[in-house]
A and B are shown apart, each in its own frame.
Chain A
Amino acid sequence: MKKPFSGKAGDSLVLRTIIKELGQALPRMTDRPEQQTASQSNEQMHVQMPTQSAQDYQPILSAKNLSIGYRYALPIVSGMCFDFPTPLTDSATALHKKRNNILGFVGPNGAGKTTFLKTCIGLLYPLSGELRLLCTDTMSSTFRETRKKLAYIPQNKPEGNSGQLRISVREAVSFGRLGKCGLTGRFGPEDRCAVEAAIARCGLESLANIAVQDLSGGQFQRVSIARAIAAEPAVYLFDEPGSYLDQEGQMAMQSLIRSLSESNTPLILVTHDRILIELCDEVLFFEKGMARLLETSTFLASIDEI
């Protein structure tokens, strides 16, 4: 009998072990919509967003023959081709499954998940091929404007937040508005409202004037999320949101991310956390220098089988 996942912190360890064995076990899914086979079951099909018809379909994230990695080094992942969300093949027969617009990056450590997330933001350049986020080429000059619509939540650092620069929680959250209010960083009433609302949503009111260096890892991660919320972004990009957090911190993180997913703003998550993976519509599975876009249910079923 398979042991069900409980969603506890230890599960991510189990998941990482299983993921290593998944390369062979997973069905080889085709990446491009035009290549999708008729044998795809109805369960694997999506229902488009209410506002999105098949004609005006625009992927949130798409890649064509993309290779990623660091300059002057071998590519970490190559030949990536996908569109997220996968477009409808037959909207009339599709099951009415609610779509959250959440994409998970999953796979073993060192497989290229964080590298790909950084490439999506423009922190790294693609080695070859094309990558589009919100329909903008990440290499184009217009991507700077698109970046202002993104909210990146970096990984928690194991050494904590003991940097030299002491700033208050409120100031750290306010950085989320900088993309919108220009280089001088002058805030209007709207910006101040957005900052206060984000602080309240993440339950940081009592900590607002405390220096971020004096916070715990979980509290600091909440500050990162509040900063992202303050940005009122078009896409959230999380890099292992539960890393280095205790079980309580992980649960608080999961509930915050779940509440964000309900706002219908697309989310991209690098994660090993089963509970967060379950929130995803699709997952991009990284392994052995490749990445495949899979239905979350297919991915999880394969894990459960193993």
Chain B
Amino acid sequence: MELLKIPAFGRAFVALFASGMAFPILGIYILSLDLIPVRFGVMHLSLLGATIGLIVGIDPIFLAVLFSIGAGFAVSALSSRKTGGDSGGAMALLMTASLGIVFILFYKANVHAIEAFNLFWGNVLALDRTEVLLVIIVSALILTGTARYLRPISAVLFDKETAFAFGLPSGIIHTAILIIVCVGIGLGIRITGALMVDAVTLLPALAAQSLKKNFRPTLLLASVFGVCINLLGFALAILLDLPTSPAIIVVGTVVVLGCKLLSHLGQQ
């Protein structure tokens, strides 16, 4: 508790609590819309944005989020009914290209190894006040948006075409979901790093889904698991002197495996 009085630890605690509550909902969206391959592309595009930010001296998180929003629009356009296309292949191409450019930029701009390391592995203790505020605002948007539009969102997640045929603006809802997922991934880069964004989004969602509850309880469980995983991971990192992101991932993995075991035993 004493540690939380130190500003860096206090900010990290708030960011992990807020993201733990809201970001697993994005994980449920990713799983429901089968966006696993797409999210790889978005992660690497945000990494490219953050790298450019680092080189030109703009806040990396700002450019990371901006690039993620761009990626969100690109995915939405690629998967729209006008093009009738599939976004998976295009995003895979984008992912590889982004990663290639990122390493060229690191090499040519002589980016300091620690700074590059922070982009890949994240550093929740390095968050400033603006970044924490951004995490809180986005988390509030995810929670209130999901609560207010839960039924139309679940209709689109269940079957986008049928929702559209019943008169819902499913294209707009789908694009909104994609963009908020992309913004979350962009912000997640700062918290857990580009390679571990899944820790705050997918792991709690996977744990909640493995219990095979209906949509609403699953959302609630994902949020609860998210907060628990983030804060337990953070506590473990402080107590055992571990890097925060890997500690969160380890706790998340244990929770997912525990839930799967529980579900398996329940079925038996």
- Least distance between B143 CB and chain A CB atoms (Å): 16
Q: Which chain B residues border A179 with CB–CB below 8 Å?
A: 166-168
Q: Which chain B residues border A224 with CB–CB below 8 Å?
A: 162
Q: Which residue of A lies closest to B168 (CB)?
A: A178
- Contacting pair B164 A121 (CB below 8 A): yes
Task: Pick the contact of A165: B161, B162, B168, B215 (CB < 8 A).
Answer: B215
- Least distance between B33 CB and chain A CB atoms (Å): 9
Task: Pick the contact of A178: B83, B84, B167, B209 (CB < 8 A).
Answer: B167
Known: A147-B166, A152-B165, A164-B34. A178 touches B155 (CB 8 A): yes
**In the docked arrangement, what's the CA distance between A8 and B218, Å?**
42
Residue of B159, B167, B169 with highest tally of chain A CB at under 10 A: B167
What 5 A-B pairs are tightest by C-beta distance, nearest first?
A179-B167, A185-B151, A148-B167, A152-B165, A175-B155
Identify the stretch in A23-31, A122-130, A282-290 within 8 Å (CB) of chain B at 4 or more residues: A122-130
Give the interface size bracket for B toward A. Answer: 20 to 34
B125 CB-CB contact with A under 8 Å: no
A276 CB-CB contact with B under 8 Å: no
**In the docked arrangement, what's the CA distance between A154 and B148, Å?**
28
Task: Pick the contact of B158: A118, A151, A175, A237 (CB < 8 A).
Answer: A175
The interface bits of chain A over 147-186 (1 if a CB of B lies within 8 angstroms of the residue's CB, else 0) are 1111110100000000111111001101110111001110
**In the docked arrangement, what's the CA distance between A231 and B166, Å?**
8
Q: Which residue of B lies closest to A144 (CB)?
A: B167
**In the docked arrangement, what's the CA distance between A231 and B151, Å?**
15
**In the docked arrangement, what's the CA distance between A147 and B169, Å?**
10
Inter-chain contact total with CB atoms closer than 8 Å:
104
- Least distance between A51 CB and chain B CB atoms (Å): 25
Q: Which chain A residues border B151 with CB–CB below 8 Å?
A: 174-175, 178, 184-185
Q: Which chain B residues border A71 with CB–CB below 8 Å?
A: 82-84
Q: Which residue of A lies closest to B33 (CB)?
A: A164
B146 CB-CB contact with A under 8 Å: no
- Least distance between B43 CB and chain A CB atoms (Å): 20
Residue of B83, B157, B159, B213 with highest tally of chain A CB at under 10 A: B159
12 A-B pairs, CB-CB below 8 angstroms?
A70-B84, A71-B82, A123-B164, A149-B167, A163-B32, A165-B158, A178-B152, A178-B167, A183-B149, A183-B152, A185-B151, A224-B162
B220 CB-CB contact with A under 8 Å: no
B92 CB-CB contact with A under 8 Å: no
Give the interface size bracket for A toward B. Answer: 35 or more
Q: Which chain B residues border A231 with CB–CB below 8 Å?
A: 166
- Least distance between A301 CB and chain B CB atoms (Å): 34
- Contacting pair A185 B84 (CB below 8 A): no
Q: Which chain A residues border B163 with CB–CB below 8 Å?
A: 175, 178
A145-B167, A185-B149 given. 7 additional CB < 8 A pairs?
A122-B165, A125-B81, A144-B167, A147-B165, A154-B162, A180-B167, A211-B214
Q: Which chain A residues border B162 with CB–CB below 8 Å?
A: 152, 154, 175, 224, 227
- Contacting pair B167 A166 (CB below 8 A): no
- Least distance between A72 CB and chain B CB atoms (Å): 8
Task: Pick the contact of A152: B81, B83, B84, B166 (CB < 8 A).
Answer: B166
Q: Which residue of A lies closest to B150 (CB)?
A: A185
- Least distance between A180 CB and chain B CB atoms (Å): 8
B159-194: which residues lie under 8 A (CB-CB) from chain A?
159, 161-169
- Least distance between A273 CB and chain B CB atoms (Å): 21
**In the docked arrangement, what's the CA distance between A71 and B82, Å?**
7
Q: Which residue of B lies closest to A213 (CB)?
A: B212
